[in-house]
Chain A
Amino acid sequence: ETGVTQTPRHLVMGMTNKKSLKCEQHLGHNAMYWYKQSAKKPLELMFVYNFKEQTENNSVPSRFSPECPNSSHLFLHLHTLQPEDSALYLCASSQDRLAEQYFGPGTRLTVT
């Protein structure tokens, strides 16, 4: 497995469910990111981790909870989501904050 992988690729969940998105990077990078991509809206940066420490939280609602257990793995825990949270969630990694980011294929989330 190479690059950045994300699982699952598709997820349908009810508003009362709890689920988690997983991201793994095989590039030896030190920074990891979560983005939200909604139709007809710009890419939104949600969270940034640098050397496993969260360095940025861009006013993301608490129903989204990130976790970075090590520099290769990043999770996004979801609970009591709203239909407007339906989107493509993209994970990315980079060698450091000054380097280009490499993206995973995304998880298409639908909240019913």
Chain B
Amino acid sequence: GDSVTQMEGPVTLSEEAFLTINCTYTATGYPSLFWYVQYPGEGLQLLLKATKADDKGSNKGFEATYRKETTSFHLEKGSVQVSDSAVYFCALINNNDMRFGAGTRLTVKP
């Protein structure tokens, strides 16, 4: 079946550092891809999405590009802030099913 694999955390960075969280997927056909973020004590929030190959999703300084050739959707941000500390989930939708990765905890230190 379809699945999502993302890098294990936790990831700890200093403020203004560059962030990459890797995500790869296994799916038949052409899934839509998503990144969600979960701040402490809250539910998951949709961060960005891409629905076809080579699409780039972006929001709040975060970006991810749908790479079909490498089946990847890596999340990047050029300069992280303390307020970006959260758990990030990569996800896909394919054939009416949504699959989530295990989540990557990011801590940004001042």
- Show the binding face of A for B, using Cβ within 8 Å: 4, 6, 42-43, 45, 90, 92, 97-106
Contact = CB atoms under 8 A, between A and B. Distances in A.
Shortest Cβ-Cβ A-B pairs, 9 listed: A103-B43, A97-B96, A103-B44, A43-B100, A105-B43, A42-B102, A106-B43, A104-B43, A90-B43
Interface string B66-110: 000000000000000000000001000100111011110000000
Interface in B10-67: 32, 34, 36, 41-46, 49
11 contacts: A42-B102, A42-B103, A43-B100, A90-B44, A97-B93, A97-B96, A100-B46, A100-B49, A101-B46, A103-B43, A105-B43
Given A4-B43, A100-B32, 14 more contacts: A6-B43, A42-B101, A43-B89, A90-B43, A98-B32, A98-B93, A100-B46, A100-B93, A103-B43, A103-B45, A104-B43, A105-B42, A105-B43, A106-B43
A106 B43 CA distance: 6
Contacts, number: 39
Contacts of B34: 100
A43 B44 CA distance: 11
How big is the B interface, by class?
Answer: 10 to 19
A4 B42 CA distance: 12
Contacts of A99: 93
Contacts of B45: 103
A103 B39 CA distance: 12
Given A42-B102, A43-B89, A98 B44 contact: no
A103 B45 CA distance: 7
A100 B93 CA distance: 8
A97 B64 CA distance: 23
Contacts of B103: 42-43
